[in-house]
Amino acid sequence: MKIGFIGLGAMGVPMAANLLKGGHELHVWARRGDAARPLLAQGAKLFASPKEVGESSEAVFTIVTTGADVERVVLGENGVAHGIKPGSVLVDCSTIAPATARTLAAALAQRGVDSLDAPVSGGETGAAAGTLSIMVGGKTEVFERMKPVLSLLGRTLVHVGDAGAGQVAKAANQLVLTVALQGIAEAIVFARANGVDFKPVWEALMKGFAASRMLEVFGPRMMDRQFAAGLDAKLHHKDANIVLECACESKTPVPGAALAAQAFNALIAREGNRWDSAAILKVVEEMNGRGR
């Protein structure tokens, strides 16, 4: 296929590279030209606008930061929607509000364009390895049509439901992750406040029911105070607030998610945008009068 790709960040570049490796012709647009260089060296073609990417592609993938960013590159001036042909497909892999995904799908449907909201989980490692988990909302027949392409990006492909359902699934995923981060930080502070080093506690927890990928990865980061690199806290901050927005719309109480969201609010206010999410430990320490 001729596939467009917009959003050449830490996730987008390796995902797009996997599409090239799968034999597809890749058409890209980048806000910063330098971001496209690794893909151009592998045979991708650079276009001057999202509109031109749409004109030249049978399917267009997007993975950008916010819902407003998606709307801008798809529906805005010189956006994909102004060039993409009826019968084509837009696959948005960003993490945005379900309501925004549904609005986008409706706007594209009016132009005869199919769409899938297909947020991903698995981080940069999963993006590079092509082992992402992809949660998909949209028509079943469109999912089946795009499944061979999606399989180049992810190992776990789950069709969740209609438009917006993929984003609901990703919000549920982020709810679990943010609450888990809060819980890990609290467990560390709790153990230390009671005179116990958390390292042997962590080793014990990793052998029992409390074991999880989050505890495996973020427990050591918090213990070693590795706060300056990894997964930007600003992304979990954004995602936690998407959960609260969606919960408000559906009148669903999510008290654990609300607490985690406020902790990330405090972290961003305290430290700015460029810290790893493990730095949530600093917030919990300060709440307990044990800031470092």
What's the chain's Rg over C-alpha atoms? 20
Which residues 6+ apart lie within 8 Å of 203 measured at CB?
none
Measured distance CA(30)–CA(66) in Å, rounded: 16
Query: What are the two backbone dihedrals, phi and then psi, of residue 10, each rounded to the nearest 5 degrees?
Result: -60, -35
Q: Which of 2, 21, 147, 170 is catalytic?
A: 170
Q: In this structure, are strands 132-137 and 154-161 parallel, antiparallel, or unpaired?
A: parallel
* Catalytic residue status for 170: yes
Query: What are the two backbone dihedrals, phi and then psi, of residue 101, each rounded to the nearest 5 degrees?
Result: -60, -40
**Structure-token pair, residue 53:** 């990417």
**Structure-token pair, residue 160:** 């969740």
Question: Helix, strand or coil for residue 203?
Answer: helix
CA 193 to chain centre: 35
Give the burial class of 176: count Cβ atoms within 10 A of its Cβ; 0-12 exposed, 13-18 middle, 19 or more buried.
middle
Measured distance CA(5)–CA(73) in Å, rounded: 11
Catalytic machinery residues:
170
